[in-house]
A and B are shown apart, each in its own frame.
Chain A
Amino acid sequence: EAQVTQNPRYLITVTGKKLTVTCSQNMNHEYMSWYRQDPGLGLRQIYYSMNVEVTDKGDVPEGYKVSRKEKRNFPLILESPSPNQTSLYFCASRILDTQYFGPGTRLTVL
Chain B
Amino acid sequence: EDQVTQSPEALRLQEGESSSLNCSYTVSGLRGLFWYRQDPGKGPEFLFTLYSAGEEKEKERLKATLTKKESFLHITAPKPEDSATYLCAVLSDSNYQLIWGAGTKLIIKP
Does A43 lie within 8 Å of B100, measured CB to CB? yes
Option from A42, A50, A103 in Cβ contact (under 8 Å) with B42: A103
Q: How far is the CA of A99 from the CA of B87 in the complex (A)?
A: 13
Interface, chain A (partner B; CB < 8 A): 4, 40-45, 48, 50, 58, 88, 90, 92, 97-104, 106
Interface size bucket, B side? 20 to 34
Does B49 lie within 8 Å of A42, measured CB to CB? no
Taking the closest CB of chain A, its distance from the CB of B43, in whole angstroms, is 3
- The contact string, 1 if C-beta is below 8 Å from chain A, for chain B 85-110, is 00101010000111011110000000
B54 at the interface (CB under 8 A from A): no
Q: How far is the CA of A21 from the CA of B18 in the complex (A)?
A: 41
B80 at the interface (CB under 8 A from A): no
Going nearest first, the 6 A-B pairs with the smallest beta carbon separation are: A101-B43, A42-B102, A43-B100, A97-B32, A101-B44, A42-B100
